[in-house]
Every structure is written in structure tokens, then in C-alpha cells.
């Protein structure tokens, strides 16, 4: 499926922006809840055999391959279009399973879009079967250094002993012992992060249909002061069971300074083959 770098060729007329693919028999009757990437046009469903594309008309000049790099550098334009893309998919996901397309998947004509649906029909049908009745959930775990130092780190005997010595030390000795304690806690935190991240992923993978780990994000990207220790995505059919297991994990590590963010439900971007619109 076309990506931003494979956008439609230069043109001034309308093209077709494809948000995602659904089973024709499950296609929503109306899609007016979310605005299109070009609000001048409505989001429609184009059926092609057993499949249907959720699409809307766009200017080929605006979404042309040559002009996209500059537009993608326009933060206001990018935010507006990404938000519209996501809102359309979330609107569809409320009533039907969907294979999501990558942002800026554009075809020069309706015939080109229908040709894609026809030529990739088997693979798209398999992808739809895989995500049917399932959603993607995101889980991010963070750890507060100070809370860990006064909680989970004390399970380490060396940390406990040094903490006691620091509390009774004075002057230069107190300073040196405090520095040693700080380094020891840091080392323990590094070990803990690896262990608890693996534990969290294993527990959640056991109640999900599929799972993968994602790169950790720095505080300036995550928007959190706490350090991120885990980032994962899960394809989930039984959300209640998944959330129950996540809650049990949080309870088990309540004294470790861990906080967990659960996001979604999302279209299954991370569980769709790249050639069909995934990342």
C-alpha cells in the first residue's frame, strides 16, 4: 500500500485518500462523525468485491509526492491531517474491524484504489480475519527514581545496609556514603528495569493474541518526568481480561515506584503487514 513517499503523482485534480480497509459486509452505513483529511469532502465507503475502502477525495496537488516533504514540515498542517486520519479510523473501529492504512496513502483515481483492493484481496482478507474482534492496546510503564530508592531498591541487602550507614554518618563520610548509595541504587534500578519490563511483557502477552515491544521514549518525547522502562503494543480480543492482568501487575509492584499508562483502543497498526498499510 502506498506510503507518503509513494503518494500520487503531480496533479491538480482530485485523488483518493485511503484510511483503511474493511469487509464490505461490515462497512459502516454512515461515516459523518469524523471530518476527512480534506474537510471539503465526505468520507465514503468504496466496495470492491468482498472488501471496501474507507476513503475521501483530496487534492493531488496538496498530497503530491513532491510537495509532501514541505507539508510534513508544517507542524500545524501535519497535526490537523494526522488527527483527521486517526479520527476517521476510530469512527470505523467503533462498528467494524479495519486494516488501517499508513498516513498519506493516496491514489490518483478511484480505479487505482479499486485495483489495489482487487489485487491484494487475499492478503487484505487474511489481515482482516486476524484483527477481527480485536483492537490494539498500548502499554507504557514508568518508574519514579525517588520512590524506587525508598521502596523496591531496599529489597537489595547492600542497598539496605548502605542506607542505614548513611543515616548515621556525618560530614565527609556521609557525603561519600551518599554517593556510593546513589550509584548502588542506580545499578539496582538498571537491573530492575530489565527484569520488570520482561515480566510485564510476558504477563500481558499471555492474555493477548499478539504482542511486541516498542522503543523506549525519552522524557521530552513521552511528556513524563519519570523514566520510561517499558513500551509495548498488544493485539487484544478480551480487553477485560487484559486489563485485569495489567491491574494485577500494578498491584504486585505498588511499592516499586512504577506507573503504567494504558492507551487505546487503536486500529491494529502494529499488527498489519507493512505492504498492506502497517508501519
Q: Are 88 and 105 in contact (CB under 8 A)?
A: no
Q: What is the pTM of this model?
A: 0.77
Q: Does domain 135-148+187-269 fall into CATH 3.30.70.3400?
A: yes
Cα dihedral 57, 60, 19, 201 in deg (nearest 10): -160
How many Å apart are CA 193 and CA 195, to the nearest integer?
6
Strands of 258-266's sheet in order across? 210-213, 227-236, 135-143, 258-266
Give the mean pLDDT of 117-126.
93
Grid-cell match 530508592, residue found: 149
Class of residue 76 by CB neighbours under 10 A (exposed 0-12, middle 13-18, buried 19+): exposed
pLDDT of the residue at 257:
81
Q: Are 111 and 16 in contact (CB under 8 A)?
A: no
pLDDT of the residue at 117:
94
- Tens digit of pLDDT for each residue in 205-245? 999 999 999 998 887 667 777 888 899 999 999 999 999 99
Return mean pLDDT, the chain. Answer: 82
- Tens digit of pLDDT for each residue in 187-207? 767 777 788 889 999 999 999
How many Å apart are CA 245 and CA 162, to the nearest integer?
35
Cell of 96: 467494524
* Domain spans, the chain: 4-133, 135-148+187-269
Amino acid at each position: 500500500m502506498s506510503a507518503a513517499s509513494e503518494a500520487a503523482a503531480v496533479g491538480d485534480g482530485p485523488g483518493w485518500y485511503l484510511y483503511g480497509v474493511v469487509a464490505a459486509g461490515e462497512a459502516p452505513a454512515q461515516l459523518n462523525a469524523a471530518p476527512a483529511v480534506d474537510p471539503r469532502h465526505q468520507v465514503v465507503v468504496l466496495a470492491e468485491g468482498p472488501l471496501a475502502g474507507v476513503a475521501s477525495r483530496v487534492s493531488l496537488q496538496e498530497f503530491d509526492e513532491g510537495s509532501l516533504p514541505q507539508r510534513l514540515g508544517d507542524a500545524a498542517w501535519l497535526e490537523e491531517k494526522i488527527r483527521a486520519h486517526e479520527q476517521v479510523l476510530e469512527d470505523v473501529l467503533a462498528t467494524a474491524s479495519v486494516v488501517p492504512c499508513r498516513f498519506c496513502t493516496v491514489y490518483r483515481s478511484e480505479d487505482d484504489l479499486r485495483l489495489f483492493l482487487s489485487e491484494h484481496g487475499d492478503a487484505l482478507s487474511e489481515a482482516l480475519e486476524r484483527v477481527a474482534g480485536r483492537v490494539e492496546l498500548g502499554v507504557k510503564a514508568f518508574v519514579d527514581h525517588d520512590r524506587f530508592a525508598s521502596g523496591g531498591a531496599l529489597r537489595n541487602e547492600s542497598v539496605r545496609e548502605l542506607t542505614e550507614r548513611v543515616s548515621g554518618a556525618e560530614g565527609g563520610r556521609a557525603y561519600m556514603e551518599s554517593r556510593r548509595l546513589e550509584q548502588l541504587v542506580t545499578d539496582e534500578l538498571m537491573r530492575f528495569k530489565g527484569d520488570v519490563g520482561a515480566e510485564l511483557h510476558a504477563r500481558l502477552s499471555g492474555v493477548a493474541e499478539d504482542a511486541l515491544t516498542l522503543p523506549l521514549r525519552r522524557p521530552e518525547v513521552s511528556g513524563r518526568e519519570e523514566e520510561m522502562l517499558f513500551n509495548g503494543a498488544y493485539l487484544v480480543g478480551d480487553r477485560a481480561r487484559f486489563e485485569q492482568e495489567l491491574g494485577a501487575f500494578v498491584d504486585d509492584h505498588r511499592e516499586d515506584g512504577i506507573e503504567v499508562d494504558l492507551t487505546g483502543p487503536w486500529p491494529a497498526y502494529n499488527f498489519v503487514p507493512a505492504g498492506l498499510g502497517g508501519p
